[in-house]
A = this chain, B = another copy of it.
Amino acid sequence: MATAEELKRRVRELENELIKCKQRRSSEEQVHARAKIEKMSAEVVDSNPYSRLMALKRMGIVDNYEKIRSFAVAVVGVGGVGSVTAEMLTRCGIGKLLLFDYDKVELANMNRLFFQPHQAGLSKVEAAENTLRLILVTTDLFLSSLCSHLPFICDFSNGGLEEGKPVDLVLSCVDNFEARMAINTACNELGQVWMESGVSENAVSGHIQLIIPGETACFACAPPLVVAASIDEKTLKKDGVCAASLPTTMGVVAGILVQNVLKYLLGFGSVSYYLGYNAMQDFFPTMAMKANPQCDDQHCRRQQEEYKSKVTEHPKQEAVEEEVVVVVHEENEWGIEVVSEVTEAELQAASGPEPDLPEGITVAYTIPEKEETSGQTVEETDQSLEDLMAQMRKM
């Protein structure tokens, strides 16, 4: 039989142990939430999360890497591409991220990077915020975890780092035509620069595209390369059919997307207007598309007019136009031309076997009609046979 003294000692012991247990749990939960770091240091020590980024200055790649902290980027769609995009931007030290998605994490998403099985059931935005807050040590990050449906007008035009200023860039990482068109409409209305990304339904091709309203083709100016038309895309899954996906293709598309973002925001290298990725043949087509004067979107046509008068009024700005590598011919209905010189047969081979897709689904990089991708445009170039001969002699 324990004495009162022994019982009191036992109570004190247990109380201490319980406090310790609760403290451990609490610290395990809290140790992961990182505080914002005020200054990007270039010091080369193992404890500095910025040393490898700041080294880009010493290597002569980027003039002012710290500028990354002054930019706000909106990521619409936090799935296989958007989540990795958000993580890359966070680890690069982007100033502010705005994430948009209305979907939940499912076990069926586990064949892509970023989300983990224990997050199944959480909203994608909430799960992404939890993970990004763990990494925050490398960045001065603000997450605006808006669970929003369309439209985005207000969020894009007020989401900048400064109160009431627009975001610096919008990234479309959505998986359906409707959402892309909604982003396109909002960006055309605002004159907001954005980048589009996509991965094909058969998981083996993807692309990124830079859209500057009024200057380059918008999403309504040119037919999309990955499209589901004339059916409700949301019903696809219910029919026992789902799109294939791979962490590899989505990782590559997120990588080339964020690389393009860094080049665009920090001003180094060549920003790509369109970069495709065909995994079957390791084929990476590039191209540029001019805005279509007959675009269905009235705001696109207005932006084109404004851009034209801007260039006319301020001739110095013509330099901007020159930077846009427009290789499009007026005769070409859609203004599409692949810059890489590939034959139709090569392109056909590169698109892999024709998958068995549900009605209305078209895979990226297949050739819908002969006219669009034939090499005819080469005949229309300024290059003469003499020039070509001269080039060959130099080889």
Q: Contact flags (1/0) for A301-328 with B, using CB distance below 8 Å? A: 0000000000000000000000000000
A88 at the interface (CB under 8 A from B): yes
Query: What CA separation (Å) do A14 and B118 show in the bound complex?
Result: 30
A59 at the interface (CB under 8 A from B): yes
A66-100 contacts to B (CB < 8 Å): 84, 87-88, 91-93
A45 with B282: in contact, given A241-B58, A251-B88 (CB under 8 Å)? Answer: no
Q: Which residues of B contact A388 (CB under 8 A)?
A: 392
Q: Which chain B residue has the least Cβ–Cβ distance from A115?
A: B135
Stretch at the interface among A152-160, A161-169, A200-208, A365-373: A200-208
Which range contains the number of A residues in contact with the other chain? 35 or more
A279 at the interface (CB under 8 A from B): yes
Can you tell how many copies of this chain the complex includes? 2
Whether the Cβ atoms of A49 and B241 lie closer than 8 Å is: no
A292 at the interface (CB under 8 A from B): no
Q: Which residues of B contact A60 (CB under 8 A)?
A: 202, 352-356
CB-contact partner of A61 in B44, B116, B202, under 8 A: B202
A91 with B117: in contact, given A14-B15, A280-B268 (CB under 8 Å)? Answer: no
CB-contact partner of A248 in B244, B249, B255, under 8 A: B255
Residue with the greatest number of chain B CB neighbours at <10 A, chosen from A24, A44, A247? A247
The distance from the CB of A86 to the nearest CB of chain B, in whole angstroms, is 11
CB-contact partner of A59 in B22, B269, B356, under 8 A: B356
Query: What CA separation (Å) do A61 and B378 show in the bound complex?
Result: 33
Query: What CA separation (Å) do A266 and B24 show in the bound complex?
Result: 46
CB-contact partner of A92 in B31, B246, B286, B355, under 8 A: B246
Whether the Cβ atoms of A356 and B58 lie closer than 8 Å is: yes
Query: What CA separation (Å) do A241 and B32 show in the bound complex?
Result: 29
A229 at the interface (CB under 8 A from B): no
Whether the Cβ atoms of A56 and B244 lie closer than 8 Å is: yes
Query: What CA separation (Å) do A57 and B256 show in the bound complex?
Result: 27
A127 at the interface (CB under 8 A from B): no
Whether the Cβ atoms of A284 and B284 lie closer than 8 Å is: yes
Whether the Cβ atoms of B279 and A269 lie closer than 8 Å is: yes
A219 at the interface (CB under 8 A from B): no
Whether the Cβ atoms of A116 and B92 lie closer than 8 Å is: no
Q: Which chain B residue has the least Cβ–Cβ distance from A4?
A: B4
Query: What CA separation (Å) do A138 and B116 show in the bound complex?
Result: 10
A332 at the interface (CB under 8 A from B): no
Stretch at the interface among A104-112, A140-148, A188-196, A220-228: A104-112
Q: Which chain B residue has the least Cβ–Cβ distance from A87?
A: B113
Whether the Cβ atoms of A242 and B51 lie closer than 8 Å is: yes
Q: Which residues of B contact A49 (CB under 8 A)?
A: 107-108, 110-111, 117
Q: Which residues of B contact A45 (CB under 8 A)?
A: 108
A170 at the interface (CB under 8 A from B): no
A245 at the interface (CB under 8 A from B): yes
Whether the Cβ atoms of B137 and A117 lie closer than 8 Å is: yes
Whether the Cβ atoms of A110 and B92 lie closer than 8 Å is: no
A217 at the interface (CB under 8 A from B): no
A294 at the interface (CB under 8 A from B): no
A10 at the interface (CB under 8 A from B): yes
A262-295 contacts to B (CB < 8 Å): 262-263, 268-270, 272, 275, 279-282, 284, 286
Query: What CA separation (Å) do A112 and B260 show in the bound complex?
Result: 17
The distance from the CB of A4 to the nearest CB of chain B, in whole angstroms, is 5
A48 with B88: in contact, given A203-B56, A243-B55, A258-B247 (CB under 8 Å)? Answer: no
The 5 closest A-B pairs by CB, nearest first: A14-B14, A252-B255, A55-B244, A269-B280, A7-B7
